[in-house]
Amino acid sequence: MSTSRALVVTLGLALGGAALAQSPASSAMDHMDHAMTSSSTMSIASDTTLPPNAADAAARLAASPRHREWVMIPAGGTDSVGAWIFYPQRKDKAPVVVVIHEIFGLSTWVKGVGDQLAAQGFIAVVPDLLTGKTVPGGPDSINVDSARKLIAGLNPQDTQRRLIAAGAYGMKLPSALPKYGVVGFCWGGATSFLHAAASPSVLAAVVYYGVTPDSTMLPKVHVPVLGLYGAMDNRVDATIPAADSALKKMKVTYEPNIFAGAGHGFARDQMGMSGANMTAIQQAWPKTIAWFRKYLGP
C-alpha cells in the first residue's frame, strides 16, 4: 500500500473538528438538502468529457454509441441485485468500476455516470441497491421521499454483500480485467468509503461528498481512497479530518480534495452555486479517471 499522503485542499481553509460519521443507512435522512429538483433542471449543452448534468442525462444516454445491458447478479443465497452494465469501445480487456447511486436510487443521471466511465475505457457496473423494494415511479422517476426512506432502511451489510457481488460479476465478464474499483455519490459516496473497508478484492475507491466511516469500520479501510468534496458542505467535510488522521497512521493512501464554493451534489447539479459546482466537477472528474487508471490500469 502506498504511503504517499496528499491532502489536496482546493479551498485555502483548515477544517476543524473530527466528528466520525454514522453508517450510510442510518444517516441517509441527513441528505434532505440535496434535492433532485434544483438549478440542474436548467437545460444546458453538456461537456461530453464529463458526466452529464442531471437535465441532460437522458439525452446523453439516448445518443450514446456504447452498448449497455440489464442483468440480474446473484448476491448470495436467494438474493440477487439488478444492474446496468456499460461497455467501452476498445480492443482489449477493460478494468471494472462499480458505480453506487445516490439516495435517489438508480436514476437516469447515475446511469449517465456509468456511460461516461465506459466512454473513458472502463466497464461500469451500476447496481440498483433498491432491487426487491417497491419504489413508486422507479427506477428513473423515483419519488424522492420514498427513495430516501427505503435507502435509510437498507442493511449496510446486505448492501456491501451486493456490491461485492457486483464487482465479482464485472470481473468475470469475458471483456473484463480481474480488477475493480468503486465510486459513489452522496449516500453512495459514504457507501463507497465503506466498501474500501468491506470488500477484500476492491483495489481503489472514489468518494464524492460522502461521510467518513465510523470508528468500527474506518480501521478496516485497506485501499487507496480519493475524496471529492464541496467546500459549502460542512456536514460532510467535518468528517474528513478523522479519516485523514486514521488512514495516515495506517499508511493507507487518502487524498481529500475540497472545491471552493461548491455544494453537496456538485456532480449532478453542475449549474449550481454560481458556477462553483461546474468548476468542481471539471477538476474532480479528471482526478477520478486518473485515480482508476493508476490503481486499475488504463
The per-residue pLDDT for 76 is: 97
Task: Tell me the angle at which helices 156-172 and 187-198 cross, rounded to the nearest 10 degrees.
Answer: 70
Which helix (H) or strand (E) segment holds residue 125: the answer is strand 123-127
Is 6 inside a domain boundary?
no
Interacting residues of 71 by C-beta distance below 8 A, sequence separation 6+: 82, 83, 84, 85, 169
Domain range holding 98? 18-32+45-296
Question: What's the total number of domains in the chain?
Answer: 1
Angle subtended at Cα 191 by Cα 98 and Cα 145, rounded to the nearest 5 degrees: 105
The per-residue pLDDT for 138 is: 63
Helix (H, G, I), strand (E, B) or coil at 75: coil
What distance in Å separates the CA atoms of residue 293 and residue 216, rounded to the nearest whole number?
30
Least confidently predicted of 113-127, 141-155, 156-170, 222-236: 141-155
pLDDT tens digits, 123-151? 999 999 999 998 777 655 677 788 889 99
pLDDT tens digits, 251-272? 999 999 999 999 999 999 999 9
What distance in Å separates the CA atoms of residue 98 and residue 106, rounded to the nearest whole number?
13
Residue 39 one-letter amino acid: S
Is 37 inside a domain boundary?
no
The per-residue pLDDT for 147 is: 87
pTM of the model: 0.88
Is 121 inside a domain boundary?
yes
Is 38 inside a domain boundary?
no
Return the DSSP state at 154.
S
Q: Where is pLDDT greater, at 5 or 236?
A: 236
CA distances to 17, 61, 129, 240, 275 from 79, in Å: 40, 29, 12, 34, 43
The CATH number of the domain where 157 resides is what? 3.40.50.1820
Q: Where is pLDDT greater, at 20 or 144?
A: 144
